[in-house]
Amino acid sequence: MIGDCQTAALVGIDGSVDWLCWPRFDSCACFAALLGTPENGRWRIAPADGRAASRRHYHPNTLILETEFETSAGAVSLIDFMPARETVSDLVRLVVGRRGRVAMDMELVLRFDYGASVPWVTRLEDGQAGLRAIAGPDMAVLRTPVPLKGADMKTRARFEVAAGETIPFVLTHSPSHLKPPAAIDARASLAKTTKFWNTWSHRCTVTSKWSEATRRSLITLKGLIYAPTGGIVAAPTTSLPERPGGVRNWDYRYCWLRDATITLLAFMDAGYYEEAAAWREWLVRAVAGSPEQAQIMYGIAGERRLTELTLGWLPGYEGAAPVRIGNAAASQLQLDVFGEVMDALHQARKGGVSGYDAAWNVQRKFVEHLETIWDAPDEGLWEVRSGRRHFTYSKIMAWVALDRAVKGAEDFGLDGPVDRWRALRDRIHADVCARGFSSKLGSFVQDYESTELDASLLLIPVTGFLPADDPRVVGTTNAVQKHLMVDGLVRRYHTHTSEDGLPPGEGAFLACSFWLADALALQGRWDEAVELFERLLALRNDVGLLAEEYDPRAKRMLGNFPQAFSHVALVNTAFNLAAHEQKKPAVQRGGRAPAKEVPPQTSASAPSPRSRT
**CA dihedral of 494, 496, 501, 502, whole degrees rounded to 10:** 90
pLDDT at 555 exceeding the cut of 70? yes
Burial of 553 (0-12, 13-18, 19+ CB in 10 A): exposed
111-120 burial string, b = 16+ CB within 10 Å, else e?
A: bbbbbbbbbe
CB 93 within 8 A of CB 21: no
Strand partners, 71: 74
DSSP element (H, E) containing 485: strand 485-486
Alpha carbon distances (Å) from 145 to 81, 128, 130, 225, 431: 19, 9, 8, 33, 70
* Those residues with Cβ within 8 angstroms of residue 400's Cβ, 6 or more apart along the chain or in another chain: 339, 340, 342, 343, 463, 464, 465
CA 557 to chain centre: 14
CB 336 within 8 A of CB 258: yes
CB 155 within 8 A of CB 140: no
Task: Return d(Cα 131, Cα 112) in angstroms, integer.
Answer: 16
Task: Return d(Cα 173, Cα 110) in angstroms, integer.
Answer: 12
CB 590 within 8 A of CB 463: yes
Average pLDDT over residues 549-563: 93
pLDDT at 606 exceeding the cut of 60? no
DSSP 33: G
Domain regions of the chain by residue span:
2-177, 209-581
pLDDT on residue 589: 54
Task: Return d(Cα 384, Cα 341) in angstroms, integer.
Answer: 21
Helices 357-373 & 418-435 angle (0-180, nearest 10):
50
Radius of gyration of the chain (CA): 25
Determine how β-strand 489-490 pairs with β-strand 485-486: antiparallel
- The CATH architecture one would assign to domain 2-177 is Distorted Sandwich (2.70)
- If DSSP codes are grouped into helix, strand and coil, which group holds residue 12? coil
Determine how β-strand 131-135 pairs with β-strand 2-3: unpaired
pLDDT in tens, 227-236: 999 889 999 9
Which parts of 185-303 are beta strand (E)? 225-226, 231-232, 255-256, 297-298
* Those residues with Cβ within 8 angstroms of residue 11's Cβ, 6 or more apart along the chain or in another chain: 1, 2, 17, 18, 65, 67, 80
Task: Return d(Cα 356, Cα 348) in angstroms, integer.
Answer: 10
- If DSSP codes are grouped into helix, strand and coil, which group holds residue 7? coil
Comparing CA positions, the residue from 57, 15, 56 lying closest to residue 216 is 57
- pLDDT band per the 50, 70, 90 thresholds, residue 613: very low
pLDDT in tens, 443-481: 999 999 889 999 999 999 999 999 999 999 999 999 999
Task: Return d(Cα 548, Cα 562) in angstroms, integer.
Answer: 7
Calculate the average pLDDT of the chain.
Answer: 89
Comparing CA positions, the residue from 38, 117, 28 lying closest to residue 325 is 28
Task: Return d(Cα 298, Cα 401) in angstroms, integer.
Answer: 20
In the chain, the percentage of residues whose pLDDT exceeds 90 is: 69
pLDDT at 62 exceeding the cut of 90? yes
Task: Return d(Cα 402, Cα 417) in angstroms, integer.
Answer: 11
CA 152 to chain centre: 37
Task: Return d(Cα 346, Cα 590) in angstroms, integer.
Answer: 9
CB 121 within 8 A of CB 133: yes
Residue type, 147: P
CB 548 within 8 A of CB 563: yes
CB 294 within 8 A of CB 335: no
Alpha carbon distances (Å) from 153 to 16, 40, 176, 361: 18, 11, 19, 56
CB 308 within 8 A of CB 252: no
pLDDT on residue 605: 36
Task: Return d(Cα 413, Cα 360) in angstroms, integer.
Answer: 11
- If DSSP codes are grouped into helix, strand and coil, which group holds residue 14? coil
Comparing CA positions, the residue from 457, 448, 463, 455 lying closest to residue 484 is 455
- If DSSP codes are grouped into helix, strand and coil, which group holds residue 122? strand
pLDDT at 593 exceeding the cut of 50? no
pLDDT in tens, 488-542: 999 988 865 444 433 345 788 999 999 999 999 999 999 999 999 999 999 999 9
Strand partners, 508: 550
Average pLDDT over residues 561-571: 95
What pTM value is reported for the model? 0.91
How many Cα atoms occupy the beta-carbon half-sphere of 61 within 13 Å? Answer: 13
Residue type, 330: A
Task: Return d(Cα 376, Cα 219) in angstroms, integer.
Answer: 39
Task: Return d(Cα 551, Cα 20) in angstroms, integer.
Answer: 26
CB 253 within 8 A of CB 10: no
pLDDT in tens, 411-446: 999 999 999 999 999 999 999 999 999 999 999 999
Is the domain defined by 209-581 classed in CATH 1.50.10.10? yes
Task: Return d(Cα 58, Cα 49) in angstroms, integer.
Answer: 24
pLDDT on residue 612: 27
pLDDT on residue 329: 86
* Those residues with Cβ within 8 angstroms of residue 130's Cβ, 6 or more apart along the chain or in another chain: 123, 124, 141, 142, 143, 144, 148
DSSP element (H, E) containing 97: strand 89-109
- pLDDT band per the 50, 70, 90 thresholds, residue 276: confident
pLDDT in tens, 94-117: 999 999 999 999 999 999 999 999
